Every structure is written in C-alpha cells, then in structure tokens.
Amino acid sequence: MDARQAWSLINDAELLHGETEIELALDRLAARIGDALADRFPVALCVMGGAVVFSGKLLPRLGFPLEFDYLHASRYRDGTRGGEIAWNVLPRKDLRGRVVLLMDDILDEGHTLAAARARLLELGAAEVWIAVLADKEIGRAKPVHADFVGLTLPDRYVFGMGMDAYGLWRNLPAIYALKEK
C-alpha cells in the first residue's frame, strides 16, 4: 500500500469516536482501575503493538504504584483477519503471585486476550485483570471478558488509537471504521 492508498482509507472511513470522547473514556477507565487495583501493586502489561497508544495514555492517569512490562502476541500480522497466535515476546518481570493488569486496544473475538490471560496465569500470576480501550459487539459469546472497558464499538473493522488497518493509522487520536462495501 502506498501513501495515496493510505490517505484513501482515512478519507473514506467513518469516525466512530473522536479524540475528546476517547479522553473522557480514559479518565473513567483510570478511575475504575484505581478503585479496584490501587492498593494491589500490579504489574501493568501492554499488549504490543496495538495497545501501545492506549497504554501510553492510560498509565499517566493511574495514580498508584505499579510495575510496567509488555508482551507481544499477534493474530493479525497487518491484515484484517486473525490467524494463529504468535508469541513474539513474553513479559520479563517475574509474575509469580502478582496481580496483573493486562492492557489491550480492543476486545474483538477475544482469542488473543484469552490466550494471553491463560499464559500469564501459567507464568504464575495470581490474578489477571483486563482493561481494553474498546469492546467490539460481535453478536456472539467471547472466550474472555474485559474487567475495564472504555468504549463499545460496532462489529466493523476499526482503526486508530493503536488499532491498525493494513498496518496503518495506529497513530490516529480517534477511532474510525473502514468503509463498508
């Protein structure tokens, strides 16, 4: 894809949630997470690469001590359909007996987050709490639920705020949906 095609994606997309709405959702999420985890000294884990924007905006809002690390698991590999989970990087922190706050950009079908939660528990985490910027309404049961959800999205392919379309536009401060065909 070239720059012209990338611009075409955004120009044809539908804005679902603007920057101000997202910032307010992040404030609400941080308050709920603080209520639940402020006295637990969690390890906050970012799911790379999608959650890097979400985590970067959420972490400064969490006014309590925590440790930070990341994991990298992927199913999409710059496409729009998920495949097998690839474990690129596991956390370096010792998770044995620890409370973990797992942060991801979106709870879509839930396969990646369910596998990540299971892997973290295998690594000895005492509890895994999941925070997502967005939960997509897909119309069927998911293998995992998020404990903290910022926004709800329709069942469309979305991008922005860390989520990508064909590997592009993770850097947008808003959330868009690809044009329906």
Beta bridge partners of 43: 67, 100
Indicate the pairing of strand 86-89 with strand 14-17.
Answer: unpaired
φ/ψ (deg, to 5) at 154:
-75, 165
3-state secondary structure of 19: helix
Instruction: Quote the CA–CA distance of 70 and 93 in Å, as a whole number.
Output: 9
Active site residue 108: yes
Query: b/e map of 137-163 (b: 16 or more CB within 10 Å)?
Result: eeeeebebebbbbbbebeeebbbbbbb
- Order of strands across the sheet that contains 158-159: 14-17, 175-177, 158-159
Q: Are the C-beta atoms of 5 and 169 separated by less than 8 Å?
A: no
- Catalytic: which of 104, 105, 108, 135? 108
Secondary structure element (H or E) that encloses residue 149, with its range: strand 148-153
The residues annotated with a catalytic role in the active site are: 108
